[in-house]
Structure 1
């Protein structure tokens, strides 16, 4: 079975947030994060692959505001190219010791939160002093894992299939400079 194409998806989609809205949201988030982490150098853990575009943009905004970061990444997924999740699979765990550290997990979206919950619990289990979540987007629904919220979020997206700016459509479109939603059928 061949995967659907990004070109076909774009024909059936609408822009939910354009690049300007995304950049404005990231800038506003960076002020809150800088204020909350002032006086520390947090471990900045990018959740791959989806978190990469957002994490890069947010890191530059934080640097412009004088907050130093210690970079590392992790790769955990429930999707592996599919559109619905299964068990959490770890592809890479961070090498930076987390015991006693303040940690900022940076990801593209909080949808239902299963992967982020597993990641956050693992980081806590490594002895992190404080673990916070920054997500570019939060999906508008009430199906999130209890107890999982983004401490910092920039945008709300509809309860539809969304992609772009880190979010994928069958592993495609992560580098689109806007967030799209498939039109409802």
Structure 2
């Protein structure tokens, strides 16, 4: 598959900046304070949802001031597209979390199909409790489950296609230093 880098660069140039780097960092700091207050004595296993949760987890983890075990999992519905399909597991958790608290760190709670499947997997596999931290939660009524909510949310955003801080546009711009909305999407 050939990539049109001119198009990829144009998308970034035309995008609307919803949150700049300082605003995102302040939201991450606020999440860290809440997690420190609530999970410090719980000995959690922390799973970063790849690839989207990588940047958020990288910024959040050094702010968590307690012992934890860290690993990752990789489940996706997008596969570098702009709309989701069926859930695909690329890597399931490798650390045991039976009878332990689990903290799932992900980039976004959109419709929540991926996060819902991850939560169900952890619960059925024996986690004592499952907590979720997302950088962004989209504002709309299309959630996979009406009661699906993240425990820790950094920012909310309008229902547009966004990228930056781990979220991508066709596999690109996860490294963008802010949260951007694609023009027209």
Contact 2:11–2:183 (Cα < 8 Å) also in 1: no
Shift of 1:68: 1.8
Q: Distance in 1 between matches of 2:154 and 2:125?
A: 28
| Structure 2 residue 14 is the aligned partner of structure 1 residue 15 | no
Shift of 1:184: 3.4
35, 38, 42: which is aligned to 1:36?
38
Residue 174 of structure 2 aligns to a residue whose secondary structure is coil
Residue 132 of structure 2 aligns to a residue whose secondary structure is strand
Shift of 1:6: 2.2
Q: Distance in 2 between matches of 1:136 and 1:67?
A: 20
Structure 1 residues 10-67: Cα deviation after superposition (integer angstroms, max 9, x where no partner):
13211111110010000001111111112122111000000000011110111xxx22
| Structure 2 residue 183 is the aligned partner of structure 1 residue 183 | yes
Q: Which residue of 1 aligns with 2:172?
A: 172
Residue 154 of structure 1 aligns to a residue whose secondary structure is strand
Q: Which residue of 2 aligns with 1:159?
A: 159
Matches within 5 A, 1:116-135: 116-135=115-134
Residue 48 of structure 2 aligns to a residue whose secondary structure is strand
Contact 1:114–1:145 (Cα < 8 Å) also in 2: yes
Shift of 1:125: 1.0
How many residue pairs are counted as aligned between the two chains?
A: 182
Q: Distance in 2 between matches of 1:144 and 1:2?
A: 33
Residue 86 of structure 1 aligns to a residue whose secondary structure is coil
Residue 100 of structure 1 aligns to a residue whose secondary structure is coil
**Which structure 1 residue ranges, 4+ long, deviate > 4 Å from structure 2?**
1-4
| Structure 2 residue 55 is the aligned partner of structure 1 residue 53 | yes
Q: Which residue of 2 aligns with 1:72?
A: 71
Residue 11 of structure 2 aligns to a residue whose secondary structure is helix
Q: Distance in 2 between matches of 1:3 and 1:122?
A: 35
Q: Which residue of 2 aligns with 1:106?
A: 105
Is 4-13 or 49-58 further displaced after alignment? 4-13
Q: TM-score if structure 2 supplies the norm length?
A: 0.94
The two structures, once aligned, show a CA RMSD in angstroms of 1.3
